[in-house]
Amino acid sequence: MEEKMFTPGGMERLQATSDRENIPYPRGDGKVKLVNSEWLDRHLTDTNLTVIDVQPNIHDYIQEHVPGAVYLTEGVLRVSNRGFPGSYSPNACIQESFRRAGITADSPVVVYTGKGAFSGAGDGLGQTMMAYTLAKYGHNAVYILDGGIDAWKSEGRELSQDYPPVEPSDFTVEVRDDYPIGYEEFVRIKDNDDVVVLDARPAKVYEGKGPWRKAGHIPGAVNLPWKSLMHEANPARLKSNDELDMILEEHGVDRSKTVICSCGTGREATNEFVLLKWLYLYPNVRIYEGSFTEWVTYPDNPVVEGSDPRGARVETASAR
């Protein structure tokens, strides 16, 4: 009976279930970990801790934020490059942004977002986007607040309207090039038997309802909507490990394979990259930052509409 229960990676994920009770989670020296509101409240006055507010609108931060938090919009992370709309900002820009926020590479930084109290906006992705970018550009101790500011508020914890005094840091960008996968390498390996490509977009977009010049998804990409991994009432809070384990099993996300996380512009994919690489400790995880937006800039690249990764159901229906 036990042999049937554990598909490849099942034992490791069950271990993660118990480890998640130990905050910061997971144990070890990974660049990104998960913390809860209770932990942050206890450590809020630590002199080496920086808290970064990534709420969707500056007015959300002005209205309310975790005491001592510095506002850093995720909008500084990407700019247009030769017309392509989703490129990361130049290293110097990212470096200066992190310096102004007082971030140092080896001191813990907690990132959070939420449903903006002023704007009403916010999808929960700001904190994984910021966490991934911090780690990619050289930070070594990034903490994500599970549930974001909405979890903090729901527990009746203190909020502030004060702006903390911040001394600029000497943060120096050191890019970790092994996290992203570029277009040419992606094309070369995406169809290999030992590779799983995930598409984190909503099912209707994956199937063909998106804004791109071509509808659908990259052939072979398996749809794993990022929101399916999060609590319905709070998209900044991960579901339980038991639920996550079941979802990953159902989608064939095998830890023995190379997993490539993709989406529309590379933002939604950060949610699944963070989960698999740092929280579930999958050994081979990459993120295709260009994602579907880059894929369809090449006119000859095929796309698939519908729910099947390779369009087999569509082709069968046509043959009939």
Residue 91 scores a pLDDT above 90: yes
Sign of the Cα torsion 148, 153, 157, 162 reads positive
pLDDT digits (tens, 9 = 90+) for 281-316: 999 999 999 999 999 999 999 999 999 999 854 333
54, 137 in Cβ contact below 8 A?
no
Co-location of 285 and 190 in the same domain: yes
Q: Evaluate whether residue 12 is within a structural domain.
A: no
Q: Which of 77, 200, 263, 303 is catalytic?
A: 263
Residue 108 scores a pLDDT above 60: yes
Please say if 263 is a catalytic residue. Answer: yes
CATH number of the domain where residue 113 is located: 3.40.250.10
Q: Evaluate whether residue 189 is within a structural domain.
A: yes
Distances (CA, A) of 308 to 155, 255, 304: 42, 22, 8
Co-location of 298 and 229 in the same domain: yes
Q: Evaluate whether residue 164 is within a structural domain.
A: no
Q: Which domain holds residue 234?
A: 183-319
State the average pLDDT over residues 30-45. Answer: 97
- The token pair at 154 is 């729901």
- The token pair at 164 is 């903390």
What's the pLDDT at 125? 98
222, 196 in Cβ contact below 8 A?
yes
What's the pLDDT at 311? 87
Distances (CA, A) of 37 to 40, 63, 111, 230, 239: 5, 20, 12, 17, 16
Q: Evaluate whether residue 161 is within a structural domain.
A: no
Residue 9 scores a pLDDT above 90: no
Co-location of 142 and 258 in the same domain: no
State the average pLDDT over residues 150-160. Answer: 98
Co-location of 140 and 225 in the same domain: no
Q: Evaluate whether residue 163 is within a structural domain.
A: no
d(C-alpha 200, C-alpha 46), whole Å: 36
pLDDT digits (tens, 9 = 90+) for 197-254: 999 999 999 999 999 999 999 999 999 999 999 999 999 999 999 999 999 999 999 9
Q: Evaluate whether residue 6 is within a structural domain.
A: no
The whole-model pTM stands at 0.93
101, 23 in Cβ contact below 8 A?
no
Co-location of 115 and 205 in the same domain: no
What's the pLDDT at 22? 85
Q: Evaluate whether residue 139 is within a structural domain.
A: yes
pLDDT digits (tens, 9 = 90+) for 259-279: 999 999 999 999 999 999 999
The residue among 154, 175, 205 that closes a domain is 154
What's the pLDDT at 212? 96
Alpha helices (runs of H) in the chain, residue ranges in sequence order: 2-5, 10-19, 37-43, 58-63, 91-100, 126-136, 148-154, 183-189, 203-204, 241-250, 268-273, 291-295, 312-319
Residue 194 scores a pLDDT above 80: yes
- The token pair at 37 is 């509101």
Q: Evaluate whether residue 137 is within a structural domain.
A: yes
Co-location of 144 and 204 in the same domain: no
Residue 319 scores a pLDDT above 60: no
Co-location of 145 and 246 in the same domain: no
Give me the chain's average pLDDT, please: 93
Co-location of 194 and 312 in the same domain: yes
State the average pLDDT over residues 177-205. Answer: 98
Please state the domain count of the chain. 2
